Amino acid sequence: MGVSDNIRGMVDDQATMEEDKKQLSRDFNKGAMNLMNTFLKRVENGSFSLDSVKDYKDLYGMYVELNEINFGEETSGGIPELSTNQALALEKHVLVKSRNVADERGNIKEEKYIDMDALDEMGVDDVNDTIKSLGEALNKDNLEAYNE
């Protein structure tokens, strides 16, 4: 068995593992939907109800997580927000997604964030290009600030 056969085998194994992951995800989602439908029927017919504040709090926590809602909490020691130039430069190179965020008044707004899985898959050249673009954006910011 030659090197090319070994590489081909590894590629085939990787493709099989990816398909297995996708199938597992589909099966899990299907099972979760069946369980949720059964749960909803029990809630609607009155055979299930929340009897404690803890249960309601847990349910609310799941709602917030599933709907990707946070309440604008800031953590201390966080990194500063990117400038518009830096954000645009970053979006050219990495997958940026959106999620719903509630402000302190409860108003829902869209917030962008980086898909960390896509970031993990970046190659060395991709990372270098991203860093270069961010550096150019920072230079542009500095030039704009200097000219103000």
Confidence of residue 119 (pLDDT cuts 50, 70, 90): confident
Check whether 84 has a pLDDT greater than 60: yes
Check whether 76 has a pLDDT greater than 60: no
Confidence of residue 4 (pLDDT cuts 50, 70, 90): low
Element (H, E) at 101: strand 96-102
Check whether 27 has a pLDDT greater than 70: yes
**Structure token pair of residue 97:** 């997604």
| CA proximity to 92, closest of 123, 131, 121 | 131
Percent of the chain whose predicted confidence (pLDDT) is above 70:
87
Residue 10 confidence (pLDDT): 75
Residue 64 confidence (pLDDT): 74
How remote is the C-alpha of 122 from its chain's centroid? 16
For the segment 62-87, the average pLDDT, to the nearest whole number, is 69
The answer, as to whether pTM is greater than 0.85, is no
Length of the chain: 148
Hey, what amino acid is at 97? K
Confidence of residue 77 (pLDDT cuts 50, 70, 90): low
Weakest mean pLDDT among 33-42, 48-57, 83-92: 48-57
Eight-class DSSP state of 112: E
